[in-house]
Amino acid sequence: MTRVAIVLNNASGDGAADAARLAIAPVFEAAGIGAEFLMLAEGDDLAAMLTRILASGVDAIVAGGGDGTVNSVAAAVVGHDVTFGVIPLGTLNHFARDLGIPLDAADAARVIVAGHTVPVDVAEVNGRIFLNNSSVGLYPRIVQLRERYKARGIEKWVVAAWATFRVTRRSNPLRVLLNVDGKRVSRTTPLVFIGNNEYRMAGFDAGSRASLTDGRLAIYIVATSGQLGFLKLTWRILTGTAQGSSDLLMLRATEATIDMPHEAAMTQLPVALDGEIASVELPLRYVINPGALRVAVPR
């Protein structure tokens, strides 16, 4: 490895990107690796930026930011013979945590410099990449409401809790028809959650993944509704009794389709992709691409 390009999301304006640059630049310099920093600001054309970077012949592209930034950069890297690195600067950092990448910026840079990589799976819906999960129903509505009120720090969690309370008060379930590896499943549900590999559904590790290399989607269909129903489901997840219960159906597949034939006038649906919302045309076609992204991880 001689040249890397590092995309840092500076759009939040909280100074995390500048601090990360100061922390990681000496790591690459000490290793004799030329590092080009690209400070991503609001309104920048990330796709054009990454096209230029890939054409320049770098050995690795590094994404510094939250899961949304990591997803956007990874989408451009998939299909190219370059290493993908992650400097976790977000609130949750699901992708980095599940791969064991350190949350400290300098330590994460040392992982990239060490050069140990693994091919991890990448999922997509109608050609849109996601590394962690996608969902339809309640969660996209919660995110849309939350995004109306920009907040940072502890205020961000307060807004998220308020948005969740308000949306779950009226579940507005969807009538969906799923085709999962050729098997038809019809359900009325407030939430369908599709994971890039299987999520743990027990205890305080719930929401994490043991592997990103199993080559299968994990599809979770919620059967309960209302605030009391979701509190019950949360309790079952914490106590490890959710899977196999009447509140949650879990399916594994290499491909799946979600449609809403009972809503003939509905042609598009808000879909959450690693925390970002996109309007995607129905039907939603999910597939998994095994080992499509070569990621720098700790040994």
CB 82 within 8 A of CB 54: yes
Contact 96, 43 (CB under 8 A): no
Q: How far is CA 89 from CA 83, 112, 272, in A?
A: 19, 15, 20
Report the predicted TM-score, pTM, of the whole model to 2 decimal places: 0.88
- The residues of the chain scoring below 70 in pLDDT are 12-13, 144-171, 225-239, 241-242, 244-246
Structure tokens of 170? Answer: 């009226």
What would the pLDDT profile of 144-178 be if each residue is shown by its tens digit?
666 666 655 555 555 556 445 555 666 678 899 99
Q: Break the chain into its structural domains and give their ranges.
A: 3-115, 130-290
Shared fold status for 3-115 and 130-290: no
Strands 3-9 vs 60-65: parallel, antiparallel or unpaired: parallel
Determine the pLDDT at residue 184: 94
What confidence tens digit (pLDDT) does each residue in 120-131 have? Answer: 999 999 999 999
CATH architecture label of 3-115: 3-Layer(aba) Sandwich (3.40)
Does the 130-290 domain belong in CATH 2.60.200.40? yes
